[in-house]
Every structure is written in structure tokens, then in C-alpha cells.
Amino acid sequence: MKLDLTQFDALTFDVYGTLIDWEPTIISMFHSTAEQYGVTLSDEQLLMEFDKARAALQKQRPALLYPDVLRAAYGQFCRNYGIPENAQEREVYANSVMLWPSFADTRAAMAHLQQHFKIGLLSNIDNTSIQFSERKLGIKADVVVTAENVKAYKPDHAHFHAAFESFAALGIPKERILHVGQSLRADVIPANQLGLSSVWIKRPGRSLGSRPEDAVGAKPDLSFDTMQELALYHQAHLALA
């Protein structure tokens, strides 16, 4: 039986990759640095350079703030390819979150969903950076959990437990929460482990967190390519209710 969205009172979302389209800007920044020094790499190679650095940095405890992750990823890339680091360029990387756009379908989908659900944002970002993105989404979330709040990065369960506590204070138990994310590794798998219903937003053409090696054991309850499809699915259930 397909999941009935009307059985939920709250939706929690991964932000970057699901609602905010971060990969093209990251690739563009690394291309800009590489091009200056004659380093020729494909988009996928550049993205993997970032992802390898990110993965290593996010294992550090206490957790780095995301601007520091971006600074360090830039530095690691420069060292890997013999590129001299530039302090001004490094700060462009650190503050790039404000440049990351929302996906074209996100704002309208979120406008619909917020009329029917409490909204939570669960992100590996910092508190300052997520404010830029929240404005781009056109929403004011009911619950926001960041890596800065919980001192950890998803797929660690700390984000989810913090969200459970916040929604419980609003009278919403875990069983009435549906988690939505693009990353199988960071969102769907921990949702599975915690007994939380989940939706995978595939975002064709985007790969971080959902490559085959990230997907082992991931079992979303529903899958859609876009947020628009999720909103339409909910509208169809409302019509039947």
C-alpha cells in the first residue's frame, strides 16, 4: 500500500540537495580555481574532490561550522593540485551558501505543504547560513536543527532526536513525522534506522549522498524526482480524503 501523506502532521526536510541546489555552484567554484592553474577535471571529478574533503572534515569532533568545512575543502583541493591558496578566494568558498539557489520547483511545493504540515529543516549547515536558504525557500520553519545546534553531522542521529524532541513539544509524536531528503546516505538510511517514514527526492543529475555506494540498505517509503511531484501526490490524497 502506498504511503498516505494525510496520516502525518509534520514534514522534516534535508535542505541542501533536496530544497537548495548546491552542486552546480560548488562545481563552478572549483572549476574557477582549477582553470586559473591549468588543472583539467570533469564536473564529476571536481564534485568528488569536494565530497572526499567534506567527508573527512565532517568526521572531526567537535563538528566544524560549515563555512570552516568549505574553507578547509578549498585548502585541501589546492594542496592536492599544487595550487597556491588565496585568502580572498577561500572566503568566497566559505560564504558561498548565500549563492546557492533553490530548485525551481521548491518554493511553490513548500508553499503548498506548509499549509498542511508543520515544517522542520534538518541540515548539516550552521545557524547563520541556513537563514539565507530559509528566505530563499519562502518559509519560516517550525523546527530548525543544524550541525551547529547538535555538534554532529548527519547521518548521525542527533539531528533526528533533536527534531523529535521539538515536535513532541508541539504535540506531534515521531510516528506522525515524515522525513524528506535527496541523500540516501545522510537521510533515508538514518530514517530507516530510527523507524521513521521517509521520502527520497531523487533530483536527477545530482549525485551527492545517493551514489550506489551510498545507497546500501536505503529503503524509502516513497520516491519522487522533484518536490513538485511530492506536492502533487499530497494534493491527490487530499482530494480522496
| Residue found by looking up cell 582549477 in the block | 34
Query: Is the dihedral angle over the CA atoms 102, 106, 112, 117 positive or is it negative?
Result: negative
Sheet holding 143-146, edge to edge: 143-146, 118-123, 10-13, 177-181, 197-201, 222-224
Structural domains of the chain sorted by starting position, each given as residue range(s) with its CATH number in brackets: 5-21+102-240 (3.40.50.1000), 23-99 (1.10.150.750)
| Spatial separation of the C-alpha atoms in residues 202 and 127, rounded to whole Å | 26
Active site residue 142: no
Q: Which of 14, 51, 142, 187 is catalytic?
A: 14
pTM: 0.94
| Spatial separation of the C-alpha atoms in residues 55 and 186, rounded to whole Å | 11
* pLDDT-based confidence at residue 238 (cuts at 50, 70, 90): confident
| Spatial separation of the C-alpha atoms in residues 83 and 65, rounded to whole Å | 24
Whether residue 180 contacts residue 230, with contact meaning beta carbons closer than 8 Å, is answered with: yes
| Spatial separation of the C-alpha atoms in residues 112 and 99, rounded to whole Å | 25
pLDDT in tens, 38-51: 999 999 999 999 99
* pLDDT-based confidence at residue 1 (cuts at 50, 70, 90): very low
pLDDT in tens, 146-173: 999 999 999 999 999 999 999 999 999 9
Q: Which three cell numbers stand for residue 53?
A: 574533503
Alpha helices in 37-181 (DSSP H): 43-57, 66-80, 87-94, 106-114, 127-137, 147-150, 158-169
